[in-house]
Structure formats: C-alpha cells, structure tokens
Chains A and B, each alone.
Chain A
Amino acid sequence: MCHCIACQQRTGAPFSANSRFAREKLEIQGDSRTWERKADTGNGVIHHFCPDCGTTVFWELTGFPDVVAVANGLFADPTYPAPTVCVWEESKHSWTDDIANQPMERWAKMPE
C-alpha cells in the first residue's frame, strides 16, 4: 500500500495497492506502452500501461531488477489478500486513516 503522490496520480485514487513478484514467476501477455519516472531514491520506475485503456498493469524498479510490481486492482478480486506494508504515510489523505485497519508495517516514507 503506497500513499505517495506519484501513486495517487497514477491510480487517480488516494493510495495504491500493489504486489511484488519474482520476475521469473510472472508471465506478461499483450503489448504495453512504457513511461519512466525517477523515484525519490533516484531509481527509475518504468510503468507499463495498456495503450488502449490506460491501465498501468505492472512496473519495473531499476533498483530491484529481480522483482516486478503488479497493481492489485487488476485482479478485481474482493478476496485478494490485504496489503501487509504501508509506505509514504506522510502524504496520506486523512480520511483514509481507518480504511485499512489490519496490522501493517507502516512507514512515513519509503524505508531505505
């Protein structure tokens, strides 16, 4: 779960919910368009989105080449597991304080 401003703009929502998978466990089908941004750490984030509908499906983190991040909303499955780590709480919308009450590791920024 990430409350950073870039995730708010990417999702159009108040926070993102994402999962990281080992790259070799993920099979991507279909074409994507890419857009790259710099994270606050200086590492690159390469977004892959559907050129037809705009949905960002997954993204690569140049600082963590062995994993690929996938947007949880793509599963559209109400029983998908809850997030276990929450980052960038310093830019959290205050009305979302009680949205996710499950125990989580919480960070004001992104941990080093």
Chain B
Amino acid sequence: MSEAKATGSCLCGAVHYTLEAAPVGTFACHCKDCQRQSGTAFSVIMGVPESGVKVEGEPATYLGRGDSGNAVQRKFCGKCGSPLFSIVEATPGVLWIKTGTIDDTHSLNPQAHIWVKSKQCWVDTGELPTFDTDPVL
C-alpha cells in the first residue's frame, strides 16, 4: 500500500473514502479494545495524514479510552456497524484506517505487531517486530 490513492468502504457502502496520501505506518494491533470492536483476533490499522483522506457519508463515533488510557475516537458506520477509522490522542493529525475496509488489500503489509501482551494465544506473529504495548507511547 505504498502508492497513494486507495479507496474503501463499510460493508453497506453508506460511508466510503479515498486515500490521497501515502501511509505513515501499518500495524497489527492486538489491544483488547481492537479485539472487541473488530470481533476478531486483532485489527490491522494503517495511519494516513488526516488531510489526505476524503470521507463521504457520516460515520458515527464512539469515544473510549484505550488500554494506554489515551482517548480514542472510534468511527463506525451507524447503518451496518463496520469499524472504519480511529483518531488517537497520542498521534495527532493521523487517521488510522481499519484496513479490512480498503477495497484492494493486495499490497497491504503490516510492519509490526503492537499490544502483543493481550495477543490471542494461537496467533503466530512470525518474523515481524513485536511490541508489548505501543512503541509511540
């Protein structure tokens, strides 16, 4: 996903977006809130400068505190529930895309696993770097 200009949407299509900037990083996040919101073992998030994302449709927002204690705005589609973006207090100016909603994920490649202290026991992180929590905290 090194090329700018990717598109994505929620399951029902009510919210869709275009990425017009290169990502700043892509991580597999194993924090408990990502497990709960995604409903699966971990989320894969790609950070993009907020100014480089054009969103059409109105996502709903759930404001929570992550495992770090920092505020996290979790944006989701109010019609189908798909998680779309997170805005994290610790990384101002960055919109974290929930990458399962990107249309073409062929070149998606996380660079590290974060919050592995709450990782599901059956998940093998392989050769990628791992962090117990989040390296930017």
- Enumerate chain A interface residues (CB-CB to B < 8 A): 6-18, 33, 35, 37, 47, 49-57, 71-74, 76, 78-83, 93, 95, 98-102
Contact = CB atoms under 8 A, between A and B. Distances in A.
Interface string B94-133: 0000111100010011100000001111111110000000
Interface residues on B, range: 35 or more
Given A10-B11, A55-B81, A73 B100 contact: no
24 contacts: A8-B105, A10-B39, A12-B82, A13-B38, A16-B39, A16-B40, A17-B41, A17-B120, A18-B40, A33-B78, A35-B81, A37-B11, A53-B74, A54-B82, A72-B39, A72-B120, A73-B36, A73-B40, A73-B41, A76-B35, A78-B118, A78-B121, A93-B108, A99-B125
Contact of B81 (A15, A56, A78, A101): A56
A82 B76 contact: no
B54 interface: no
A76 B43 contact: no
B40 A11 contact: yes
Interface string B48-65: 000000000000101010
Contacts of B11: 6, 9-10, 35, 37, 47
Chain B interface mostly helix, strand, loop or mixed? loop
Query: What are the nearest 7 A-B pairs in CB distance?
Result: A71-B39, A12-B98, A54-B76, A49-B81, A82-B122, A8-B100, A53-B62
Contact of B64 (A10, A49, A53, A100): A53
Chain A interface mostly helix, strand, loop or mixed? loop
Interface of B: 9-12, 32, 34-44, 60, 62, 64, 74, 76-84, 98-101, 105, 108-110, 118-126
A61 B110 CA distance: 32
B81 A14 contact: no
A20 to B, nearest CB: 14
Contacts of B110: 95
A14 B82 contact: no
Nearest to B31: A76
A11 B62 contact: no
Nearest to B126: A98
A49 B12 CA distance: 13
Contacts of A55: 36-37, 39, 81
